[in-house]
Structure 1
């Protein structure tokens, strides 16, 4: 079966809109008018309801009756047997077909609906209006070729994983946008609400893209690394209007809120750096063997090393040798209970990422003959590991976070992620395994929740306060593998793949009790799609 045919059943025009790689146009079903569509534009930090291109679009037959959507394919939406809607390049839609029909388009300008009949030929819809078009067949053929070329890259996986892998590969293609002035394609987390290149997302997305389009995977890291500050800090987001690297880059209201949340250590009157967890080396290592470009790797490893130094030089806010998160945004786990504490927060996941990154930098230094660099990174990783071990609370049985130096009374997934270092003494590994096996903690029907169930702030559906995230599961599976638990690692991978299929697609996060999509979770989510592909390839080898 062709990948495009596997994808069509998922294209419901609700959770998965009709779109095109490189386009900002999204076509949805109209929630209020049967047999109508609505067209919106995906823009950075703008609600889709504020970016309406076409309020309603209907195809009418010769008697003026609305024709229902009969099928949705990656390259076209069909109305009945004769009329199709497709893209005419990234910035326009084309409607055409045989027989007698009319397109009725209601624009947000408030003018009367525009109606063009089949006698007028094809209809072309752009941001500037609706007009007669031409060569609808050519537009359809060009759109088909774009998707055929994309699906030709779909990674080969096990038969039971093929349908969802094809859909996840569609999601990655659908989420491609061009960022003005950046000279590269960004695979955004979602055209439904997340239009920009978030640093952390780029790492996970590149990990999945490498299996079918390693050049596009490299572009994600080039964008993530290409806007570092003079001090080495990597920005949180690269977007249409610039970058997000500081609280001063936020709107004034957000900036004031952040400053009010400051602490005695993190000066609330000063700008707060905004970044994402240091998984840059983890992502870069995954492209080795897929991208043949020594100059790219030389430049990228240098950017990673400077970023690592930034964490220890500029984000160790209390000077104790252990960097902290200066703001929840920088953790990626914005709403986690660990950030109910006073800022800054020293968190065991950050320690684990920094240990892993220094270990990988040491390996890179050895590979290029830099003995001094290898020694420096290895020594710093060992110091950080000692500080991480000191975060273990024996009575509670988990690694604690600390807010402004005080222990945080919340057990979350950050306490599990030190497995990723592969360097934990056995008693800590045993403690984490006990937590994973405990139904009052992390042994939920669908694993792994992001907060222990016994915590008062646990929620099945509130972001980062309980729901399962594919990226956390993927990191934990890797942590189990490198910590001497390969069978448990494989079991978690298989469960994660089943979760995405059970939940109906690569959503932002999942209910750990039902495996379903919580109401506020975004659909067609980039890193969930990419990591499904990555894990599916892994278990299909």
Structure 2
């Protein structure tokens, strides 16, 4: 399952873009996948044959962001026309009326026949319905324009056909770079490529920067961890946009090198002082001691920047000066972990807040903080090893060329020391890597204990024990692998976020670890099963029930890193087929 450099991959040419768009359109049900446009903050979801129009905003729910409570199209007699087809660029009502975007904050409804229809809308719950006739003796279309406070203006228009074509071109341009994968994976790959385009937004305070967010429903910001996984998928079709995600994630380090957790339209989130009020209230309800800390707690995400950078640099066109600058930023962030997050001074950094782990609901964090975990240690080992290779090849600011060998050697030596610390967490009697909550062993059996495979340096006996755990039905051998909490753990819940469901990103990391640890066949099998899971469930959801393989009830749909990693795994598995 080794990754082939992007320069050797074929991508869908322009002649295939329409086919890829049609494949994606088959999944656009307007329930699990909204109607939207790259860079737009508008999304539309269906309620029967009516549409509800929302804006997509940081830390605001859909119910708080209603632009139109209802939008429907009726025939001349007032009978509602059914939604008959959805493609990335258009929604069709009956056989004569369509809706499309007319720009990032504008949409158009037009009729193609000589007859007339009624376009009806309700602005907010409880408002009186409004309507306008189009077609026949009236204008052929109507344009809805969204203002900065979610106010909507409506005006007749004759330009609907031009808007349909312009929106079609936006999506064809996007699908022109959809990667080619095996025939059995093409439909879902096209949908996943749509997800990445659909989840692209602009962050106004950063000019024209494009952030591919986890979801326009609930996750409107650039989370550091998500950006890494999303960039890894984007590199196969749009390496420039992939690099842009890394650039944004690494653009705002603190003076001591810490990378922020989130970059969003109102600023950044880098400490507990920056938490939204809703997050604090959620933590209070959970009885968390970190809801209102006495001193600010840094918030970041696991150190996978160099892992993602190395993968993205397999694509063509990277500017060497930019690469060296990014490597310098990653090196400073790596130093931050050892200088500022080794909270007990034992040489092995800890998580000072559950949010910094990316797995904040895991039972690993039910105990007191700080928490020592095997996954963080493994990521730090992997990052130092990746940095050693990157520095040797590219150099790094402010490292002069003459210092490359010494810098690389220092990274490898620290990786060796960190691996030695990691091995102290191995508990031979139970055959597990343990976490420590404020120095005390945590009994939870979770997927974080499999992440040390990523180091590629574990003793063979430990590797074999971890591989055996993947085959144990009392631990991780569920129908759809890998549950984030072992089946036999009392905290296992197949529906509750990080406490049992399957996540595509953790599966991808374990698959990577299996290959690095000498089990390429097992890595390929896990990758295949992960792709089967996404297809079985009907899309790249946030997380999945390990027993049924369906979307877990609380999971967001059309989720960014699930889509990106489906693409990445699908490309890797398609090489040579």
Fold-level match, TM-score > 0.5?
yes
CA contact (8 A) 1:478 1:489 kept: yes
Instruction: Indicate whether 1:175 and 2:203 are aligned.
Output: no
Alignment of 1:523-534 (within 5 A): 523-534=557-568
- Which of 374, 377, 393 is the equivalent residue of 1:351? 377
Q: Please state whether the residue corresponding to 1:161 is helix, strand or coil.
A: helix
- Which of 501, 524, 545 is the equivalent residue of 1:467? 501
CA contact (8 A) 2:56 2:62 kept: yes
Instruction: Give the whole-Å Cα distance in 1 for the aligned partners of 2:292 and 2:350.
Output: 14
Instruction: Give the whole-Å Cα distance in 1 for the aligned partners of 2:343 and 2:528.
Output: 40
Instruction: Indicate whether 1:279 and 2:295 are aligned.
Output: no
CA contact (8 A) 1:327 1:344 kept: yes
CA contact (8 A) 1:176 1:186 kept: yes
Instruction: Give the whole-Å Cα distance in 2 for the aligned partners of 1:276 and 1:288.
Output: 21
CA contact (8 A) 2:121 2:131 kept: yes
Instruction: Give the whole-Å Cα distance in 1 for the aligned partners of 2:139 and 2:125.
Output: 23
Instruction: Indicate whether 1:80 and 2:94 are aligned.
Output: yes
CA contact (8 A) 1:261 1:268 kept: no
> 1:203 aligns to what?
228
CA contact (8 A) 1:44 1:240 kept: yes
Instruction: Indicate whether 1:322 and 2:356 are aligned.
Output: no
Q: Please state whether the residue corresponding to 2:557 is helix, strand or coil.
A: coil
> 1:102 aligns to what?
118
Shift, 1:230, TM fit? 0.7
Q: Please state whether the residue corresponding to 1:307 is helix, strand or coil.
A: helix
CA contact (8 A) 2:327 2:391 kept: no
Pair 272,105 (structure 1): closer, same or farther in 2 beyond 3 Å: same
Pair 136,412 (structure 1): closer, same or farther in 2 beyond 3 Å: same
> 1:24 aligns to what?
41
Instruction: Indicate whether 1:154 and 2:178 are aligned.
Output: yes
Instruction: Indicate whether 1:250 and 2:275 are aligned.
Output: yes
Flag structure 2 segments of 5+ consecutive residues without an equivalent: 1-15, 147-151, 396-400
Instruction: Give the whole-Å Cα distance in 1 for the aligned partners of 2:272 and 2:55.
Output: 27
Instruction: Give the whole-Å Cα distance in 2 for the aligned partners of 1:357 and 1:449.
Output: 25
Pair 113,289 (structure 1): closer, same or farther in 2 beyond 3 Å: same
> 1:123 aligns to what?
142
CA contact (8 A) 1:393 1:399 kept: yes
CA RMSD of aligned residues (A): 1.6
CA contact (8 A) 2:59 2:276 kept: no
Instruction: Indicate whether 1:507 and 2:541 are aligned.
Output: yes
Instruction: Indicate whether 1:495 and 2:521 are aligned.
Output: no
Shift, 1:379, TM fit? 1.5
Shift, 1:377, TM fit? 1.1
Flag structure 1 segments of 5+ consecutive residues without an equivalent: none
After TM superposition, the score normalised by the length of structure 1 is 0.97
Instruction: Indicate whether 1:340 and 2:366 are aligned.
Output: yes
Instruction: Give the whole-Å Cα distance in 2 for the aligned partners of 1:534 and 1:410.
Output: 31
Instruction: Give the whole-Å Cα distance in 2 for the aligned partners of 1:216 and 1:327.
Output: 30
> 2:334 aligns to what?
308
- Which of 366, 372, 387 is the equivalent residue of 2:421? 387
Instruction: Give the whole-Å Cα distance in 2 for the aligned partners of 1:434 and 1:182.
Output: 48
Say which is worse superposed, 267-276 or 443-452, in terms of deviation.
Answer: 267-276
CA contact (8 A) 2:82 2:94 kept: yes
Instruction: Indicate whether 1:292 and 2:308 are aligned.
Output: no
Instruction: Give the whole-Å Cα distance in 2 for the aligned partners of 1:167 and 1:52.
Output: 26
Shift, 1:244, TM fit? 0.5
Instruction: Give the whole-Å Cα distance in 1 for the aligned partners of 2:570 and 2:127.
Output: 50
Instruction: Give the whole-Å Cα distance in 1 for the aligned partners of 2:182 and 2:273.
Output: 48
> 2:517 aligns to what?
483
Moved over 6 A (4+): 256-260
Pair 267,141 (structure 1): closer, same or farther in 2 beyond 3 Å: closer
Shift, 1:431, TM fit? 1.3
> 2:477 aligns to what?
443
CA contact (8 A) 1:261 1:343 kept: no
CA contact (8 A) 1:114 1:130 kept: no
After TM superposition, the score normalised by the length of structure 2 is 0.91
